[in-house]
Amino acid sequence: MGIPSKLKQHSALLSACSVATLWLASGAAPSFAAEGSVGTLMEEVQVTARKRADAEILQEVPVAATAYSGDQLEALHTKDLQSLSFKMPNVQLEDVGTVKNTANFTVRGLGINSSIPSIDPTVGVFVDGMYLGVNAGVVTDLFDLEGVEVLRGPQGLLFGRNVTGGAVVIKTARPTEEFSSRFKLSTTDNLDTVAAGSINGALSDTVNGRLTVYYNDDRGWFENVATGNDNAGASDSWFIRPSFSIQLNDTAELLVRMEHGRMDSDGVVAQNRGSEPYFEVTDTGVIPWGSATQIAASVGIDDWDNSKGSFEVAQNEEGSQKDEWSQIITEFNKDMAFGDGTITNILAWREYEARGMGDIDSLPLTLFHADSSVEQSQLSNELRYAGRFGRTALTTGAYWFSQDVTYLENRLLFMGAFDWTGGGKQDHSTYGVFAQADIDLNEAWVLTLGGRYSREKKDAKIASIPLNTCTLSGCSSYDENGIDSESWSAFTPKVGLQWTVSDDTQLYTFWTKGFRSGGYNFRNAGINPLTGKPYAPQATDQEEQNSFEIGAKVDWLDGRLRTNMAVFHNTIDDMQREENLPDAVTGVAQIIRNTADATIRGAELEAMAALSENLLFTFNVGYVDGDYDKVLGDLNGDGLVDGTDLGLEIPRLAPWTYGAGFIHDLQLGAYGTLTSRLNFNHRDEAPYTDDNRGMLSEVDMVDFSIGFTPDNGSYTVSLFGKNMLDEMAEGNNTQLPPEMGGIGASFTPLNKGRVMGVEFLYEL
């Protein structure tokens, strides 16, 4: 494939400023002995991207990925996955904003734009080998981790279906024999306070234990001019994570990781950006609908700034959100003489419940409020073998997953004139078998051959809005044509080549397929303008992807400069999308269907340079370009399927992400080390909705920290700042009907602006 012309035009950016993902954590350390934070950032990071028996150094693995160790995540002051959203090229790890803690992740232009729990994500999230079955409850707080891996591109062969965009792999710290403890206390200028700790060590000759506890009291950040609350968006959350490792015998070990957590918070904080009044002509005359600021003025709020870039909101309902989750993950490992390999079995269970109230119209009147609940329970098991037979490294296994999901939503519209409840429930099961062989053709060349067969089934019951067949306690009946059962299957092969040019250089290429199963819409709402009736529930067809990638990983100048790059070309057939269209009856019509065939291509470069033993410079850049090849449905809601739809941009496809950063260690004699960090990241503007009327802002992020560590290394005290330019970033930007704020009326959840804080970290 050819490099996009825009990428050629910006080639100078690749060599000059690129993008700063502050830490490109991979590969072997340079030959000189860097110490302090610079040494930490260039340390060897172990990854499990190929699910081998032992973790591998990322720099040696033919996968486009960014990985962070636990120490690096602490240095970044990482609170949750969203904290990493701007630090990697072509990656967006956003909270959708509609319902807190709900992931809306996008990698290389592939995302879902949905908070509906029945919609499978394109970017899978895995915790200690357990796949999270719904996108709700994913963006929770993180602490005491072994590391995080973000794998770009389809990962379906080893990680399963519904990871066409990529996979986020979270590894919690495991129990070890050596005693250790860590305690953290931090707070910000808006009193977002964290207190956390972990203790680890041997409980007996064969049992090690670890206990991790975490508590966060966030007093809120936003100004709500409707209620006079200067601290809207407050939350209170905690979790406890006990874990054990049991040495069963000389060749077998059992790991047990448990976690229970809760969050109690305000509802979504959002703006309505309606800017102009709207006049509707009817048979009885002209009906004026005011703009968002005019509606606010009608109830005595005259100085509300709802323009893009302002963080003021005017919501008469600050809402609430309550989440609770429990999970148990057991991992059994046994070394085998057969192939000098290891058998691994991961049995996992998770239960998640949430209840939330949100002000969707984001105005000081009750025009669209939504109360929702989610109940999900999942059980999964993966059995795999990884070993080596002569020239061939083999990973093979079988996977089974089952979950039950129930979702209910009440919409209170137009001052209570309409009060509708709908939702759905689903039984979902899937299984797969997979194998990957990496064959050493000689000392330099490795051939990869692999494949996965997946099959899944979903039994669903749908209650549409506005049919009003439910309450938040449950549904007494479902749509007659909304009770259905479907199954999908696919074989996803992979063929790849890896060339180790030298100890410092590897090149790789591969072709693979990705598979995303079909599904059902639990938020089936809206009136079809062509029929005047509610949209009929229907299952989507599966989405399939062909992906081709070429990459290179190179260490230069005796390890002082490291560069990783990849060029990719993806074609997607039967792309699944959630279309958000303004609807005067239900507020927003949310239609799930196969909308188009598309091509997405691009490139990314990550690099870091050790300018000295005490100074590290990092930069990276990502570019993505995409087009619809064929449109299968009406994307802009005008009732036609034509060239206008074909010319629209693919949602959440931000063409450019780039930036630069540095970290410096200043030795203070016998006192200790002062570490300074500065990082800049940029992301282009991108459409949010399929009709391109809702847009996500262009954002420039500047973060910094200054930390002191004494020579004995027992503690670190830091001053840090995030989003120092006070940039506006939105979780989504969904258009509302003009009756809810005039022309440009929107539901636009906001992320925090500038935050400064201090942190104390103590280790023993």
Q: In residues, how long is the chain?
A: 764
- Residue 539 scores a pLDDT above 80: yes
What is the pLDDT at residue 35?
58
Mean pLDDT of 616-639: 93
The Cα–Cα gap between 9 and 66 comes to 26
- Residue 11 scores a pLDDT above 80: no
Mean pLDDT of 136-145: 90
The structure's pTM equals: 0.92
Mean pLDDT of 587-609: 94
User: Which has more pLDDT, 479 or 495?
Assistant: 495
Give residue 179's pLDDT band: very low, low, confident or very high (50, 70, 90): very high
* Structural domains of the chain, with CATH: 5-763 (2.40.170.20)
> For the segment 79-136, what is each residue's pLDDT rounded down to a tens digit?
888 888 888 999 999 888 888 888 889 999 998 888 899 988 899 999 999 999 999 8
The Cα–Cα gap between 405 and 494 comes to 32
Nearest one of 98, 51, 70 to 748, comparing CA atoms: 98
Number of C-alpha atoms within 13 angstroms, CB side, residue 195? 3
The Cα–Cα gap between 49 and 358 comes to 38
Give residue 39's pLDDT band: very low, low, confident or very high (50, 70, 90): low
What is the pLDDT at residue 79?
86
Q: Whole-angstrom distance between the N-terminal and C-terminal Cα of the chain?
A: 53
- Residue 31 scores a pLDDT above 60: no
Residues whose CB is less than 8 angstroms from the CB of residue 662 and which lie 6 or more positions away in sequence, other chains included: 615, 616, 617, 618, 677, 678
Mean pLDDT of 659-687: 94
Q: Are strands 368-389 and 341-359 parallel, antiparallel or unpaired?
A: antiparallel
What is the pLDDT at residue 26?
36
DSSP annotation of 750: B
Mean pLDDT of 139-157: 91
> For the segment 461-475, what is each residue's pLDDT rounded down to a tens digit?
999 988 777 999 999
Least trusted range by pLDDT, from 310-314, 393-397, 558-562: 558-562
Mean pLDDT of 527-552: 88
| Percentage of residues in the chain having pLDDT higher than 70 | 94
In order of 58, 260, 421, 462, 709, the CA distances from 468 in angstroms are 53, 35, 5, 12, 61
- Residue 546 scores a pLDDT above 90: yes
Mean pLDDT of 528-552: 88
Q: Tell me the residue type at 154.
A: P
Tell me the H-state helices in 488-609: none
Q: Are 721 and 727 in contact (CB under 8 A)?
A: no
What is the pLDDT at residue 36?
59
Give residue 7's pLDDT band: very low, low, confident or very high (50, 70, 90): very low
- Residue 573 scores a pLDDT above 90: yes
- Residue 10 scores a pLDDT above 80: no
Give residue 598's pLDDT band: very low, low, confident or very high (50, 70, 90): very high
